[in-house]
Homo-oligomer: A and B are copies of this chain.
Amino acid sequence: MEDEFAFISRISPNETKQHTLICGIGDDAAVYRSSSHMDEVICVDTMVEGVHFRRDTLSPFQIGKKGLAINISDLAAMGAIPAFYLVSIAIPPTWSESELMDIYKGMESVAKPFNMDLIGGDTVSISESLVLTVTVIGRVEQGQAKYRNQAKAGDVLFVTGYVGTSAAGLNLLLEKGLDGDFTEHEKKLITFHQEPSPHVKEGRLLLQATKRVALNDVSDGVASEANELAEASQARIIIDSEKLPIHESMKEFSRTQQLNWALFGGEDFVLIGTIAKERADQIAKQFSEHNARFHVIGFVEEGETGVFLKEGNAIKKLEKHGYNHFQKRG
């Protein structure tokens, strides 16, 4: 098994090389040179068959796309430029070689627009579930990486795209299967789930537009990610339920269902963050000029650390994974 698939863990050619890569092909490690004015950003994510994806909701190609996209999304949330990736894959005997190739092709399709090179990896066998671990390396101007701990009272809370769409798509897939009969709206939602687009451009726009921005990506749902911002920044974040951007393809679902997916669904892989209120209009304009979305969905105020959902005049505390207790607006 290990030799059989070794070739797909090797170096991918890259015509428009913008990253300096010096690599001993065939060796177990890759060597590359950093830019003198950039910091390196690295992260790793693992997807397990049956836990993070199922073969009846994602094709092998889409598994590859998603495996790389969720990692690039982590880079995007730091304001970084993707550069390289490494792929470690544990393969059970139930997967064919062509399915494996499709996983790699899926990753390549995500990597290509970012000129990312596949610079290494490991291929091993496993008895049961496929395990895909992707390591990505990106770069960001020295000292400019964006973190979650920068939220301040007076900020607005924003997201860079629709939320809840991925969860809606997953729900449809679980209901009808990959080959189900779907409406055009439903197909759109399914694509949101199956083929997320990491918001690298949005991260770079924010980095260039403002020095202080608290930033995170929406992998576990708006409630969870906003809570990470609140905890890291010791801030009180208010989400205005009416301002959550809900995609028109979700109009068939009840408002409660829409809100539930938007807040707790996850895997939207848009960015969520906070910036000074007085910068919001200008940044919204810049986003619009670059064909990117910028939705203000709430604000940061003085008070108890946490995330709170404003619905009309009522406000309730929003825990990471659900509504916990109600609280009158102070």
Q: Give residues in A with beta carbon < 8 Å to B.
A: 22, 24, 26-34, 36, 39-48, 50-52, 74-75, 77-78, 80, 84, 86, 88-90, 119-122, 124-129, 131, 133, 135, 137-138, 140, 142-143, 145, 147-149, 216-217, 219, 228, 231-232
Q: Are B43 and A30 in contact, with the CB atoms below 8 A?
A: yes
A142 to B231, CA, bound (A): 41
Taking CB atoms, residues of chain B closer than 8 Å to A48 are 90, 124-126
Give the shortest distance, in Å, between A95 (CB) and chain B (any CB).
14
Q: A29-B42, A45-B122 are in contact. List 9 more A-B contacts (CB 8 A).
A: A26-B232, A29-B138, A31-B39, A33-B40, A42-B119, A43-B86, A48-B125, A48-B126, A88-B133
Residue of B nearest to A219 (CB): B28
Compute how far the CA of A39 lies from the CA of B29 in the bound complex, rounded to whole angstroms.
Answer: 12
Distance in angstroms from A271 CB to nearest chain B CB is: 12
A51 engages B120 (CB within 8 Å): no
Which B residue's beta carbon lies closest to that of A36? B36
**A41 vs chain B, min Cβ distance (A):** 5
From known contacts A124-B51, A127-B128, A148-B26, infer whether A32 and B43 are also in contact, taking CB-CB under 8 Å. Answer: no
**How near does chain B come to A100, taking the closest CB pair, in angstroms?**
15
What distance in Å separates the Cβ of A73 from its nearest Cβ neighbour in chain B? Answer: 9
Q: Chain B: which residue is nearest A136 at the CB level?
A: B29
